[in-house]
Structure 1
Amino acid sequence: MAELAARVRRRSEGHPGRFLLGIAGPPGAGKSTLARGIRDELNLAAGATIADVAPMDGFHLTSAQMRAAGILDRKGEPDTFDADGYVALLRTLRDTALGTPVSWPTYDRDIHEPVPGGVVFDRQSIVVTEGNYLLLDDRAHPAWAPVRPLLDETWYLDAPRRIIEQRLLRRHIRGGRTPEAARTKVAHSDLRNAALVESTRTRADLVLRKAGRGYRFD
């Protein structure tokens, strides 16, 4: 983790405004854990809060919105997020001077809803944003195409399919689904999302895979 954080520090030195690092990867790969680890290493080394995490999950549509649109059972797929809102706020983070607060939504896995203003960027010069669709750039999902150009560096976090499946099953069961409903969600939605995200792997600047307590470059 320290080596990865040092890479970010080197890339961000002398960068005008905020430096935006994007961490993409399939659901269940461990993106949130990596993003928090990078943030914590950067802040520890600096002795100050110079970095924070801006999760893509904060742009989930609400359950009420998805229910009204008849897409609640597909939650997590590309069109169940406010991609336009995500792009707009990423651009705001890039364009806003340090010291001017910018609120960013997060996601609460206990209530399964986005939380407005979950994190506020102020003096933080490094933003770590993580999510499935940061590298998506095709005609089927044009709303996501503007994301990659807004990021100064992108990483892809890979994970074996069996590990992803196990993690997602546990996540859905902890979230209140029955084991049968969790298996259906994973098989018919999550793994399809994972296949889509895997097709974006080659667009990343760096590909990582968890190895023991650290990460290795693929």
Structure 2
Amino acid sequence: MKRYSPYIEFDRKEWASLRDHHTPLPLTERELEQLRGLNEHVSLQEVEEVYLPLTHLIHLYVGASQQLHQLTTTFLKKKARKTPFIIGIAGSVAVGKSTTARLLQTLLSRWDTHRRVDLVTTDGFLYPKADLEEKGIMNRKGFPESYDIKRLMEFMGDIKSGKPDVRAPKYSHLTYDRIPDEESIINNPDILIVEGINVLQVKKQSPLFVSDFFDFSIFIDADESNIARWYVERFQLLRQTVFQNPDSYFHNRFGHLTANEAEEAAQHTWKTINAKNLHENILPTKGRAQLILRKEADHSIQNIFLRKL
């Protein structure tokens, strides 16, 4: 007997055939180059075959949401605030979440009915380094307890309430810390993308989760061995670039390492921190996503899983 799956599975060819001819044109190579993350290998062909059908699907969801909002307003016989359509993007460190988020932001903003698309990462909601050090959990940065969940939930609540000028703290990967007195201002966009490793997590004994505010959610998936390799490769690239900057938090710690030493440091960090977080907190949330993008060893997305309605 075939086991039931809550998802409809598509290979890349099947998924590509779902692109609608009304979908706005894809990116130029120059635009794509600016959106790619470090050590990411997204091609224009993948944009056309994977991301354009995905933006068409999300466009349909946004339209349905807007229509439901209008119907509800009519039923209530009073004008309700317009609220953003919120997309959550989750997945492991080094799996390519940020690139996917930037691509979707750019492509979705090309539709006439939802041109204002904002992007927020949950990195800004990490506790400041000083707080993490005081709590003794600096080595668990990225784990659930390292986030200011109260502030994140207040932010999500304000966004979903349609409030204007909602503020989100900014984060610097150079200093590895929240940027003091700097915030992003989200002013009721058509779509808001929220990207972070933990956005689909269910916190025990909590009546409300970040994902409760999502209208659509995506999980970026890959074999752990591939993600670990991508992490090490990215670490090596950072050693040669960002870590050489004296202002980098990791300059004194990793900037002087040889390639072999950096390999060992990256492997150790992956095994003791990132792999542990992946198994304890990130992978268990995969089945909560409405869409799973499955990557292969070369970073390409070859299988797509869409949750059945």
Report the TM-score when normalising by structure 2.
0.63
1: CA distance between counterparts of 2:196 and 2:57? 20
Moved more, 51-60 or 166-175: 166-175
For 1:25, give the aligned amino acid. Answer: G
Alpha-carbon deviation of 1:213? 5.7
Alpha-carbon deviation of 1:78? 1.3
For 2:304, give the aligned amino acid. Answer: F
* Aligned position for 2:286: 201
Alpha-carbon deviation of 1:189? 0.9
- The answer for unaligned runs of 5 or more in structure 2 is 1-50, 70-81, 244-249
1: CA distance between counterparts of 2:232 and 2:168? 28
Moved beyond 6 Å, runs of 4+? none
* Aligned position for 1:217: 304
* Aligned position for 1:114: 178
1:68-107 equivalence runs, <5 A: 68-97=134-163, 100-107=164-171
1:43-82 equivalence runs, <5 A: 43-46=109-112, 49-82=115-148
For 2:120, give the aligned amino acid. Answer: A
Query: Are 2:95 and 1:29 equivalent residues in the alignment?
Result: yes
* Aligned position for 1:186: 270
* Aligned position for 2:198: 133
1: CA distance between counterparts of 2:118 and 2:133? 32
C-alpha offsets along residues 76-101 of structure 1, whole Å, 9 cap, x if unaligned?
A: 1111111221111011111134xx21
- The answer for unaligned runs of 5 or more in structure 1 is none
- Would you say the 8 A contact 1:103–1:117 is kept in 2? no
* Aligned position for 2:61: 11
For 1:107, give the aligned amino acid. Answer: Y
- The structure with more radius of gyration: 2
Moved more, 115-124 or 38-47: 115-124
Instruction: State, as a whole percentage, how many aligned pairs show the same letter.
Output: 23
Alpha-carbon deviation of 1:182? 2.6
Q: Relative to 1, partners in 2 of residues 1:147 and 1:125: Cα closer, same or farther, differing over 3 Å?
A: same
Moved more, 203-212 or 87-96: 203-212
Q: Relative to 1, partners in 2 of residues 1:9 and 1:206: Cα closer, same or farther, differing over 3 Å?
A: same
Number of equivalences: 214
2: CA distance between counterparts of 1:92 and 1:184? 40
Q: Relative to 1, partners in 2 of residues 1:106 and 1:124: Cα closer, same or farther, differing over 3 Å?
A: same
SS of 1:107's partner is strand
- Would you say the 8 A contact 1:27–1:193 is kept in 2? no
For 2:198, give the aligned amino acid. Answer: Y
- CA-atom RMSD, angstroms? 2.4
Alpha-carbon deviation of 1:55? 0.7
Moved more, 30-39 or 111-120: 111-120
Moved more, 109-118 or 50-59: 109-118
Alpha-carbon deviation of 1:171? 4.4
Alpha-carbon deviation of 1:35? 0.7
With a CA cutoff of 8 Å and minimum separation of 6, indicate the structure with the bigger relative contact order: 1
SS of 1:135's partner is coil
SS of 1:33's partner is helix
Report the TM-score when normalising by structure 1.
0.87
* Aligned position for 2:52: 2
For 2:171, give the aligned amino acid. Answer: Y
Alpha-carbon deviation of 1:47? 9.2
C-alpha offsets along residues 143-164 of structure 1, whole Å, 9 cap, x if unaligned?
A: 6951121111111110221221
Alpha-carbon deviation of 1:6? 1.9
* Aligned position for 1:166: 229
